[in-house]
Amino acid sequence: MCRNIKQLRQPGQTPTNEEIEAAALQYVRKTSGYRFPSKANQAVLNEAISQVAAATRDLLDNLSSR
């Protein structure tokens, strides 16, 4: 589905907030079907992007490595 979202977890590298936000933006655009949402939907999509980015950061911060 989201073939263009790059893998954020790399050995020895922490993804930047910009990389996480970009991945969240791509995910929300792909799942919602909106590339350029109307003003009526902009706030909802912005909130979704924030939530996806926060969940991604939480996931990456809490993964354990071998």
> What would the pLDDT profile of 12-65 be if each residue is shown by its tens digit?
788 899 999 999 999 999 999 998 888 999 999 999 999 999 999 999 989 887
Establish how many alpha carbons lie within 13 A of residue 13's alpha carbon, considering only the half-sphere containing its beta carbon: 9
What local confidence, expressed as pLDDT, does residue 31 receive? 93
Domain boundary assignment for the chain: 17-62
Q: What is the pTM of this model?
A: 0.82
pLDDT surpasses 70 at 2 = no
What local confidence, expressed as pLDDT, does residue 55 receive? 97
Establish how many alpha carbons lie within 13 A of residue 49's alpha carbon, considering only the half-sphere containing its beta carbon: 20
